[in-house]
Structure formats: structure tokens, C-alpha cells
Chains A and B, each alone.
Chain A
Amino acid sequence: SAVISQKPSRDICQRGTSLTIQCQVDSQVTMMFWYRQQPGQSLTLIATANQGSEATYESGFVIDKFPISRPNLTFSTLTVSNMSPEDSSIYLCSVGFSGRGGWEQFFGPGTRLTVL
């Protein structure tokens, strides 16, 4: 398994500002993912972040709004830019790799963002 930590765990931000969320993994992993979970909803994949390449964004998500960095195999950041109240969500980091039992994917505890 992998132990994933996120910072901050929660934040309250003002409209128009930006927040950078950090994700740290206790082992080297190739694939990292960022998800969003809006209030009362399921998880939606924002982008896939592989080390050494540009992040791949899902439909409805763009780099200008959610820039991602992946400087090494244990760390990634997601920035939520020019925030509005609609961005209030839980943002989750996830890592995946091929283990003994095939593909394994684990999630961080999430960052709860409230935009006023």
C-alpha cells in the first residue's frame, strides 16, 4: 500500500484567490491523480499527473484553472486558481501502481476547500 498525506487538510478562502494543495506519498509512484468531490456528490477525476510529462486533464477541467506540478515521484501539487464558491469541494490526491495483485490505487485524506 501507499501512505498519502495532503496539505492543507482544510481551508477557507476568499473568492478570486488561489490555493495550492500538496500531496506527498511515502514511496515512488509513476501515476498520480487528482479528484474533486463536490458536496453530496461522487468523485470526479480532474487530471492524471505523471512525472516527467504534462498533466492530462479530463473533459471540463483546464490547466489554467487547475495547474498541476509533478516535480518528482513522491510529490505533486494542485492549484485551484481564481476561486469561486462553485469550487468548494473536497480535493483528493490518489496514486496508482502495478502491485502483486495487479493495479492498486490509493487515496489521500482529501483537502476540504470552502470558498466564500
Chain B
Amino acid sequence: DAKTTQPPSMDCAEGRAANLPCNHSTISGNEYVYWYRQIHSQGPQYIIHGLKNNETNEMASLIITEDRKSSTLILPHATLRDTAVYYCIVRVANAGGTSYGKLTFGQGTILTVHP
């Protein structure tokens, strides 16, 4: 699986948009970009994923660059409850390979939302 690079920490004011970057310059054509977050003492929570098109759901938006080498997770109106570690993961999509289904976690970005 391709390696990802994220800033170790970021701050955001409550009510503002939080933009979390992720570099995945070695991503291959069959790898998706996934975002999870982990609030203290809980299991990781799925946020969003995409292949090459931008995606939006009730939690966030995912912007993937045209060359797919980087992406940005956007939380449009951050709240204090969004304080968490955010993980950007790339994962193979093809069934049958030995790495199918695996999610390899990096160190993530600690997002702190302050009042």
C-alpha cells in the first residue's frame, strides 16, 4: 500500500472549516483514499473515501488532486467534538490480492478544535 504523509498536528477555531492535508505521492491506480478519525479512547470512525472524484457526505468533503498525489479532508464547520486524530489511508481495491481489505494506519494528524 502507498505511504501517506500528514502533518502531526493542526488547530482550528470552532465554527471554521478544518482542512486536513494528506500526501500520497506513490498512490497507484487501484488504490482508494480513506479517512478515519479516532476520538480519544474510542475505535476509529469511518469518515469518507474516494478514488479520483471529489466526494461529500454528511460528515465531510474529500478533495483529491487531479494527479491523485494528495488530498484534503474538509470539515466545513468544525465543532469541539471534532477534536480527534485523523488518519489518511490508501488502500488497494482489487479483490484477491494478499493486501485486499487491509488498512495500514500512519501516525495521523491530531486536530484540536478550540473555542
A positions within 8 Å CB-CB of B: 1, 4, 31, 33, 35, 42-45, 48, 56, 92, 94, 96, 98, 101-110, 112
Contacts and interface: CB of A to CB of B under 8 A. Distances in A.
Q: Closest 6 CB pairs between A and B?
A: A107-B43, A43-B105, A42-B105, A107-B44, A96-B101, A109-B43
Given A105-B34, A105-B101, A107-B45, 16 more contacts: A33-B102, A42-B106, A42-B108, A43-B44, A48-B102, A56-B98, A92-B44, A98-B95, A102-B49, A103-B49, A103-B91, A105-B103, A107-B43, A110-B41, A110-B42, A112-B41
Contacts of B105: 35, 42-44
Interface residues of B, number: 24
Interface of B: 32, 34, 36, 41-46, 49, 51, 87, 91, 93, 95, 98, 101-108
Contacts, number: 54
B93 A102 contact: yes
Contacts of B101: 31, 33, 48, 96, 103, 105
Contacts of A92: 43-44
A35 B101 CA distance: 13
A37 B98 CA distance: 22
A55 B32 CA distance: 25
A31 B32 CA distance: 18
A26 B9 CA distance: 35
Nearest to A104: B46
Nearest to B48: A101
A43 to B, nearest CB: 4
A34 B51 CA distance: 26
A96 B45 CA distance: 13
